[in-house]
Structure 1
Amino acid sequence: MKTLGENKAIELLKEVRERFRSTVKTRYETRAKDCGTCEVRGSCCVDEHFVNVHISSLEAAAIKKSVKEMPEAMRRRVIKKAGAESKRFKDEAGTDSFYFTYSCPLYDRNKGCLVHKSAKPLPCINHACYEKKEDLPPERLLESAERQVGVLNSRVYGNAWTLEPIPVWISRFFVDNWP
């Protein structure tokens, strides 16, 4: 398998995300509740008892790039929130990360998803408030996009890539280097 540089892979990841977003938006989101009508804006993103999104090394690299480009005050808030969630996870040592739920540090109640256009993870794109189970996008759609992302990860990192919760990645990238 031909290797890829991380920056090129992030560009290809964006293409995968955009194709996936387009399919979800045109075929499924029309049957979902409009997020703008939600009583508590962003509740599905900040509910620390619900959110359990794990992202790959490459998706984390794309988020890292986006966080670095944020205005300093916003970047600090994201890093602080991620650090608090990551600490909570570490305090629950021995817990399988797939049972770890958290409030997404990339969501701002006033602005929405801070990486919506630049690095929004596939599971977040896939999520919407559907009233009927049959209206949900089929699991195979997300799985197919995730396989494509897995191939990109392998081309960049070989076997040295992993899935981790968003706050863990952000903390790993920024907390040790906190200015």
Structure 2
Amino acid sequence: MAKKRGSRGSSSRAHALEDALVSLDRSRGPLFLEKDQEVTSGKVRADGQRDPHCCRRPQNRMRISDLEAIDISRAFSEKPHLKGKAEQVLQKMGRSLMFIGDTTKAQPYDCPLLDGDSCLVHRAAKPIECLAIRPDETFSSEGKRSIERRDQLNQKLFGDRWDYKSIPLLLASYLMDPEGAAVGKSGSTLRKEMQKQKRKQESRRRDEQDPSR
């Protein structure tokens, strides 16, 4: 988990984090387009999600970054369909932590974000690598670019104070910190708000250019 730097009230720090979350969510866009193509070709499920056995032991060894853990934690605090689900996820993480150690190495575990056969955060805050990996366990050029962008965002925000860890290890530390970086809006929400604001500004400019409207 990235160490906190300065006071929580630092506006510049908060803005930098929000900008990074928006950029992270923007990186998911091309990957969802690829998933849509895979659905059309019949390579993945109709909802674009992976086979759930890939999210369970012994196959699952997925690791995430600090920025992704923050994004997921924020999604649980403000996305309507995730309201009340955080406690359930924490319980699952507790069970997963019984089988893994506190290390940055990849380890097999049951993903606590798996709800039945579906990912709770698939459209809300999906980890980049989970979204980028293809059915044959490889990554497309677009997937590699999104992963590289994720790493750049973490490096810019946290310097050398971040690393990859298994989802239960990293996510638990943020979900259980009610006053930390996980408080606020997720990247997808922030991005939608920015797009909405941009449309309003464009509409206002058109009205100013054409007084007859």
TM range (shorter): 0.7 to 0.9
Greater per-residue strand proportion:
1
- CA offsets per residue over residues 71-114 of structure 1, 9 Å max, x none? 22x21111111122123213xx6x7622x11111111016x211
Aligned residues: 159
Counterpart among 61, 71, 74 of residue 52 in structure 1: 61
| In structure 1, C-alpha distance between the alignment counterparts of 2:42 and 2:53, rounded to whole Å | 15
- Which segments of structure 1 move beyond 6 Å, counting only runs of 4 or more? none
Counterpart among 64, 70, 73 of residue 73 in structure 2: 64
Deviation of residue 13 (structure 1)? Answer: 0.6
Cα RMSD (Å): 2.8
* Aligned pairs for 1:62-141 within 5 A: 62-69=71-78, 70-72=82-84, 74-90=85-101, 97-98=105-106, 100-109=107-116, 112-129=118-135, 137-138=139-140, 140-141=141-142
- Structure 1: gaps of 5 or more residues: none
| In structure 2, C-alpha distance between the alignment counterparts of 1:128 and 1:29, rounded to whole Å | 12
- Structure 2: gaps of 5 or more residues: 1-12, 179-213
Please tell me whether residue 157 in structure 1 is matched to residue 168 in structure 2. Answer: no
**Conserved 8 A contact 1:83-1:175:** no
| In structure 2, C-alpha distance between the alignment counterparts of 1:32 and 1:125, rounded to whole Å | 17
Provide the identity percentage. 25
Q: Bigger radius of gyration, 1 or 2?
A: 2
Letter in 2 for 1:33: K
Distance 1:42 1:168, change over 3 A: same
**Conserved 8 A contact 1:29-1:128:** no
Normalising by structure 2, we get a TM-score of 0.64
Letter in 2 for 1:60: A
Letter in 2 for 1:97: K
Distance 1:31 1:81, change over 3 A: same
Distance 1:34 1:144, change over 3 A: closer
| In structure 1, C-alpha distance between the alignment counterparts of 2:104 and 2:159, rounded to whole Å | 24
